[in-house]
């Protein structure tokens, strides 16, 4: 084959790769749902998962790079001649600067792109759209929208609005007639946070009859009153003492799955900051703020995952909890 034939073949393959890359990019960006809010069953197109389409996109990109190298090799004499004609003796710096600019452009995009993972919590079905909250029995769903108020959530779930406000780390004076959409913009939480909080509270109420048969109604209690009430239940304190004794005998693990602070509260990587708030009465948002975590992050996120993502330790969590208890 002549050089011109090779050039035609390479350019044709480049065009095919480029069109395929663009089409798959549009498919991934605009049509196939992504993120934790989208049901897994919707992430398929033509029987391929979005990750499989992503793999195809990756391999096409590698092929495109290889073809570009071949294309530049075949046309190098022409490129060199045109650069020499346009820039004279400065043709070499001109070509080098072209490569540098392309790398700098990629760096600039990275530099100005949001780094906060919490900004993408709503990815999947779009910000402000409906979220489905699955209750403890895995059968009933509660639809949450930005147009709903805390008062409407209370009527729908039978969970007092002040408990939802507390779990979300909102000021106590927040109006229960305010819409969730406005509160989200003002206080920086997401619909996923509301979903997680409601799911946790609904699961607590579903499990309560199995744990304590004659327990009082904790829905209208503050965390402090709730702990005092639990301490008055016959046998509860004895079981708690027995459990604490077992924990004292366990070896403390430095890397995280189980660790116990001096306040006697067991903190594990499987817990969430909301779990700590329930046990101690210390607002989850306060702990997260002292750790330097994003303000719009879910209080129900697994501490173990957050620890790996944001490079803090369970010892730091224990120290903050212990200090907050002492300063109460």
CA gap 43, 122 in Å, rounded: 15
pTM: 0.42
Instruction: For residues 187 and 169, give the distance between their C-alpha atoms in angstroms, rounded to a whole number.
Output: 9
Helical (H) or strand (E) element with 60: helix 50-74
Query: What is each CA distance from 319 to 184, 251, 259, 260, in whole angstroms?
Result: 30, 19, 12, 11
> 9-57, pLDDT tens digit by residue?
999 999 999 999 999 999 998 888 876 656 677 788 998 989 999 999 9
Q: What is the mean pLDDT of the chain?
A: 75
Give residue 112's pLDDT: 84
Q: Which whole number is the average pLDDT over 170-193?
A: 82
For 117-173, the pLDDT digits (tens) are: 544 544 554 433 344 444 433 334 566 777 788 888 888 888 888 888 888 888 888
- Find which of 38-42, 49-53, 195-199, 275-279 is predicted with most confidence, using mean pLDDT: 49-53
Q: Which of 63-67, 76-80, 239-243, 252-256 has the highest mean pLDDT?
A: 63-67
pLDDT in tens, 201-226: 877 766 655 544 444 554 445 555 55
Quote the pLDDT of residue 242.
Answer: 46
The phi, psi pair for 300, rounded to 5°, reads: -100, 5
H helix or E strand, kind and range, residue 255: none
- Classify 169 in phi/psi space as left (phi over 0), alpha (psi -120 to 50) or beta: left
Give the other-Cβ count within 10 Å of 325's Cβ. 16
- Which one, of 82, 83, 105, 104, lies nearest residue 95 by Cα? 83
Alpha carbon distance 303, 288 (integer Å): 10
What are 58's two structure tokens? 């990756």
Mean pLDDT on 86-110: 89
């Amino acid at each position: 084959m002549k050089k011109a034939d090779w050039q035609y073949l390479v350019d044709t393959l480049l065009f095919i790769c480029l069109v395929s890359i663009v089409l798959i990019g549009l498919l991934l960006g605009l049509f196939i749902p992504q993120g934790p809010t989208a049901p897994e069953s919707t992430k398929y197109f033509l029987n391929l998962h979005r990750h499989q389409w992503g793999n195809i996109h990756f391999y096409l990109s590698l092929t495109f790079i290889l073809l570009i190298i071949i294309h530049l090799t075949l046309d190098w004499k022409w490129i060199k001649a045109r650069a020499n004609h346009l820039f004279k003796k400065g043709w070499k710096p001109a070509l080098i600067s072209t490569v540098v600019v392309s790398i700098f452009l990629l760096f600039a995009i990275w530099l100005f792109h949001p780094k906060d993972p919490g900004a993408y919590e709503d990815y999947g079905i779009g910000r402000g759209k409906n979220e489905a909250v699955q209750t403890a029995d895995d059968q009933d769903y509660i639809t949450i929208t930005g147009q709903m108020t805390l008062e409407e959530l209370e009527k729908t779930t039978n969970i007092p609005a002040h408990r939802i406000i507390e779990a979300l780390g909102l000021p106590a004076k927040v109006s229960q007639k305010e819409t969730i959409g406005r509160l989200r913009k003002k206080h920086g939480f997401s619909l996923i946070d509301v979903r997680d909080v409601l799911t946790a509270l609904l699961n607590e109420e579903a499990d309560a009859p199995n744990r304590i048969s004659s327990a009082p109604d904790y829905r209208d209690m503050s965390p402090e009153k709730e702990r005092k009430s639990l301490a008055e239940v016959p046998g509860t304190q004895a079981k708690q003492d027995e459990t604490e004794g077992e924990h004292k005998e366990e070896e403390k693990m430095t890397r995280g799955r189980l660790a116990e602070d001096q306040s006697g509260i067991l903190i594990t990587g499987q817990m969430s900051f909301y779990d700590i708030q329930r046990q101690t009465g210390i607002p989850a948002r306060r702990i997260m703020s002292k750790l330097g975590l994003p303000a719009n992050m879910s209080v129900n996120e697994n501490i173990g995952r957050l620890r790996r993502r944001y490079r803090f330790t369970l010892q730091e969590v224990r120290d903050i909890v212990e200090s907050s208890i002492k300063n109460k």
